[in-house]
Amino acid sequence: MEGIITKTLGGFFFVKVKNNIMRCRIRGKIQKTIYPGDHVIVDIDNEIVVDLKDRKNLLDRPKVANIDQVLILHSLKEPPLDFNLLDRFILMAESSGLIPIVVFNKIDLVNNLDSIKEELNIYGKIGYDIFYISAKKHLGLDKLYEELKNSLSVIAGPSGSGKSTLINSIVDDVKLPTKDVSKKSKRGVHTTRHVELIPLKRNGFVVDTPGFTNIDIRDVTSDNLKYYFPEFENYNGKCKFSTCSHTHEPGCAVKKALKRDEISKKRFLNYKKIYSELKEKEEDFYG
C-alpha cells in the first residue's frame, strides 16, 4: 500500500498510510535515499517499506522530497527583519525550483504596520505572494491556511521567526516546543531537532525544519545569480556587454533601472553582496 514518509527517527521510518501513522523499517539500500515527503510502498502486515516511488523534487537542506512551495517566514521584530537573510532564503527556494511565499510574522509587535507594508511591497511588485500574520495572536492565519491546504509546504526561516508557533496555530493535534528570543543576542533559540511532515486539518502537510541561518546555495554561481532575481528579467540582455554581471560594468541596464527607482536598492545591494561571495569562492576553488 502507498504512503508518505513523515519523519525518520532512531532508525525508524514513520509513514502516513491513509489516516494512520505507521512506524516502519526499510529493506535494502533504499533506506539511505529516503527522506520526509517521499512516497513509498509499504508491506502493511510486516510494517516494512519495500519500494520508493519517483519524486518530483528534493530540497537539499533540509532533505525534504516532493515539495510544492516554501513559506519563508521572517519576523518583523524580536528578532528584527534581516533583509539580506530574507533574500538568501528566497534565493535558496528559487535555485531549488520551488515557489517561495513570503510570510512576515509578529505584526502584533509593531506600531507602524502600514508603513512597513509599503516598504516590503518590493517583494509583491516582483511577483511574490506576501502574507502578514501574528502566529501567536492568530492574526491573518485564515488566508495563509488557504494557501497551505492540499499542498506540501516547507516552513523555512531563521531561528526566532516563529515557525513552531505558526504550526501550533494551524494544526490542532500537534504541539511543538517553542522558546522565546534570547534577550542577549536578540535571536531565536533552536527548538526543532529533526525534519517532520505534519498533517493539516484540511489535507496537505507543513514541514517544520531545524532552525538555521546559513543558506546553502551551492547550485548558484556568480554567472547565473542574476537569473534568480525576478526584477532583473526585463533588463538582462540589454546591457552594453553580454556578460554583464550588473555589479561594476559600464552601460549596465540594471544599474540604470536602479537610478530610476525601478529596482529596490536593498535588493540590489544584497545581490552584489551575494555575487561577491560567490565570486570569491569560485576564485579560491579554481586558483
Least confident of 5-14, 140-149, 169-178: 169-178
84-93 mean pLDDT: 92
70-80 mean pLDDT: 94
pLDDT surpasses 80 at 246: yes
Q: Look up residue 88 and give its amino acid.
A: R
pLDDT surpasses 90 at 211: no
The answer to whether domain 59-208 has CATH 3.40.50.300 is yes
* pLDDT, tens digit (0-9, with 9 covering 90-100), for 37-46: 999 999 999 9
Topology at the third CATH level for domain 225-286: Ribonucleotide Reductase Protein R1; domain 1 (1.10.40)
Q: Where in the chain are the domains?
A: 2-54, 59-208, 225-286
Pairwise pLDDT comparison (265 vs 216), residue with the higher score:
265
* pLDDT, tens digit (0-9, with 9 covering 90-100), for 121-149: 999 999 999 999 999 999 999 999 899 98
218-227 mean pLDDT: 92
Topology at the third CATH level for domain 2-54: OB fold (Dihydrolipoamide Acetyltransferase, E2P) (2.40.50)
pTM of the model: 0.84
